[in-house]
Amino acid sequence: MLYSSGYRIGCAGCLVLAGMGAATGSWAEEVMGKVVSIQEGDLLGIRIGEGTRTCRIFGVDCPETGQDYFEEAVKQMRAWVEDKSVTLEKVAVDSLGMDVVRVKLEDGVDLGRLSLDEGLAWWDYGNAPKEAEYRKAMARAMAAKKGLWTAETVLSPSDYRKSHNLPPVVYTTEPEEAKSESAPVPEKVTIKAKGDPKPAAPKLAMPADADYMGLIMKHQPRIATNAAGEAIGLTATDIMAIPGAAQLGLQNGDVVSSVNGIAIRSEAQVMGLVGQLQGADRLELSVIRGGQPTTVVIPLR
């Protein structure tokens, strides 16, 4: 039910999260796309059909903004793929809500492997531990002192993110059913209480034809700030016109300050909530309404 939950989160999160619901959609095993932008050495803006997605290259970890060799990695990636057609195979969605893809150039070369061969990236052993060829490619580049390996001391992007309090990038290619094989199934327990039962909170079905990009353009989700310019949460224009928002208890002018205890302070952080909220039975939104705090609970099942 992740997709349906993503939509409800999208209503609750005033549309930024609805974009995440679209991002978690799948495509055929291999599709063609055109690279339209290079955001980082391992993050590409790719046009697929009529839409554009930010995709992470599988199995590699390029320098972050502020690290040595960041600019060089981006420049070389532009030379290889910008404005060019590539073949994509989606293998996962990462903890920031981005599609993780294997990318092949027009001549069939694996782009992740190429970036390792040229010393543009680390082998992402945390997320792709079984990619032995990637490990060997990085080892050869290190031995030849190519690219970022020309420096005597090199800090891995994952360690850089930790030291700068940046969100980790996590994903797995292991099928969901394989991960849950050994997980115990909790026994259902029914608790009866005295008094009149509370009315069930409204549930929202996922519209099959939801136009996420159209909703985002119309309602302009954004981070709200206080008088001091500090981020206080997520809001949007004309919230009650968002499909299902009024039914779920949201009102125009609402600012969602946290979801299930996770404070909302940036759009980039919001994109990672799909991964963090997997398996949740409900969303508990802390909302600032008319300057006063309130809580909105949204069931997911």
For residue range 238-297, list pLDDT tens digits in order: 777 777 677 778 888 889 888 888 888 876 666 666 666 667 778 888 999 988 999 988
pLDDT for position 32: 92
Whether residue 152 has pLDDT greater than 90: no
Assess contact for 297 and 285: CB atoms under 8 A: yes
pTM: 0.54
Whether residue 57 has pLDDT greater than 90: yes
Question: Residues 6 or more apart from 79 whose CB is under 8 A from it?
Answer: none
Start-to-end CA distance of the chain, whole Å, equals 8
Radius of gyration of the chain (CA): 22
What's the CA gap between 99 and 97, in Å, rounded? 7
What's the CA gap between 251 and 23, in Å, rounded? 26
pLDDT for position 215: 60
Q: How far is Cα of residue 139 from the mean position of the Cα atoms in its chain?
A: 29
pLDDT for position 154: 83
Question: Which of 44-58, 70-84, 89-103, 233-247 is predicted with the least confidence, judged by mean pLDDT?
Answer: 233-247
What's the CA gap between 103 and 123, in Å, rounded? 15
Question: Residues 6 or more apart from 290 whose CB is under 8 A from it?
Answer: 253
pLDDT for position 216: 58
Q: How far is Cα of residue 287 from the mean position of the Cα atoms in its chain?
A: 23
Give the 3-state secondary structure of residue 187: coil
Band (135; pLDDT cuts 50, 70, 90): very high
Closest CA to 158 of 29, 68, 64: 64
> If you average pLDDT over each of 86-100, 164-178, 233-247, 268-282, which comes out highest?
86-100
pLDDT tens figures, 191-232: 444 444 444 444 444 444 455 555 655 666 778 888 888 889
Question: Residues 6 or more apart from 109 whose CB is under 8 A from it?
Answer: none
Sign, CA torsion 22/28/33/38: positive
DSSP state of 252: T
DSSP state of 71: H
pLDDT for position 151: 86
What's the CA gap between 111 and 88, in Å, rounded? 10
DSSP state of 148: G
What's the CA gap between 170 and 56, in Å, rounded? 11
Whether residue 133 has pLDDT greater than 70: yes
Q: What is the overall mean pLDDT for the chain? A: 77
pLDDT for position 198: 44
Question: Which of 61-75, 153-167, 272-286 is predicted with the least confidence, judged by mean pLDDT?
Answer: 272-286
Mean pLDDT on 28-32: 75
Q: Which residue has the higher pLDDT, 219 or 161?
A: 161
pLDDT for position 51: 83
Question: Which of 32-46, 100-114, 168-182 is predicted with the least confidence, judged by mean pLDDT?
Answer: 168-182
Percent of the chain residues topping a pLDDT of 90: 40
DSSP percent split of the chain into helix, strand, coil, nearest 5: 30, 25, 45
Q: How far is Cα of residue 259 from the mean position of the Cα atoms in its chain?
A: 16
Whether residue 101 has pLDDT greater than 90: yes
All domains of the chain in start order, with CATH: 2-163 (2.40.50.90)
| Exposed/middle/buried for residue 188 (C-beta within 10 Å: 0-12, 13-18, 19+) | exposed
What's the CA gap between 254 and 228, in Å, rounded? 19
pLDDT for position 170: 93
Q: Which residue has the higher pLDDT, 196 or 108?
A: 108
